[in-house]
A and B are shown apart, each in its own frame.
Chain A
Amino acid sequence: SQELEQSPQSLIVQEGKNLTINCTSSKTLYGLYWYKQKYGEGLIFLMMLQKGGEEKSHEKITAKLDEKKQQSSLHITASQPSHAGIYLCGALPGAGSYQLTFGKGTKLSVIP
């Protein structure tokens, strides 16, 4: 079965600083999803990556999928308190599959 390892497990940064969260798969990724979760709430979809080398941005968040499609990174530029939460990566185990496997999440705290 596919396993996703996220690093770091938790992160505390000062407002305005940049940060990166990584998601590494034990197998080739057929689709990689990034979600954000605030405490006590559901997951909010951020971005999906499918092609090796693909990069997507939304506001100050950029996600990349490496050429080998086994690692993704999520980069936040000039962090703000609104970026605080738990970031989870999810992956499809194979082509034609719709069951996501998730990493354990990275808890981000942003200090004003």
Chain B
Amino acid sequence: DAGITQSPRHKVTETGTPVTLRCHQTENHRYMYWYRQDPGHGLRLIHYSYGVKDTDKGEVSDGYSVSRSKTEDFLLTLESATSSQTSVYFCAIRPEGQPQHFGDGTRLSIL
């Protein structure tokens, strides 16, 4: 168990509403990542963090923002959700010297 919890696990919301997904880790690792997984596209990096208040953009960051005010929490926010953001979202941590470990995912549907 890598100690990663994603919440919520499932969410259905409407276009134009704000949505925040939470990733919580229990082990105080420095690096945390947010990915989205879509059929035909595989897993793509949205944003990542390398410390408290230190974040950077990934491949598909448009329409998303992140925040990390505590080591253990990495939040992903969709300010105004669109149908194209319907996806499965995965959080990952990277323990020092080890490969990334993934959470169980959040299935987000935007109607």
A88 CB-CB contact with B under 8 Å: yes
Give 1 or 0 for each of A4-45: 1 = CB within 8 Å of chain B CB: 000000000000000000000000000001010000111111
Q: Which residues of A contact B33 (CB under 8 A)?
A: 99
- How many residue pairs link A and B with beta carbons under 8 A? The number is 44
Closest to B99 in A: A45
Nearest CB in chain A: distance from B10 CB, A:
10
Q: Which residues of B contact A99 (CB under 8 A)?
A: 33, 45, 48, 58
B45 x A100 contact (CB < 8 A): yes
A83 CB-CB contact with B under 8 Å: no
Stretch at the interface among B11-19, B36-44, B64-72, B79-87: B36-44
A42 x B105 contact (CB < 8 A): yes
Q: Which residues of B contact A101 (CB under 8 A)?
A: 45, 59
Which of A41, A88, A90, A100 has the largest number of chain B CB atoms within 10 A? A100
The tally of residues in A whose CB lies under 8 Å from a CB in B reads 20
A108 CB-CB contact with B under 8 Å: no
A98 x B42 contact (CB < 8 A): no
Q: Which residues of A contact B101 (CB under 8 A)?
A: 45
A residues sitting closer than 8 Å to B (CB atoms) are 1, 33, 35, 40-45, 48, 88, 90, 98-105
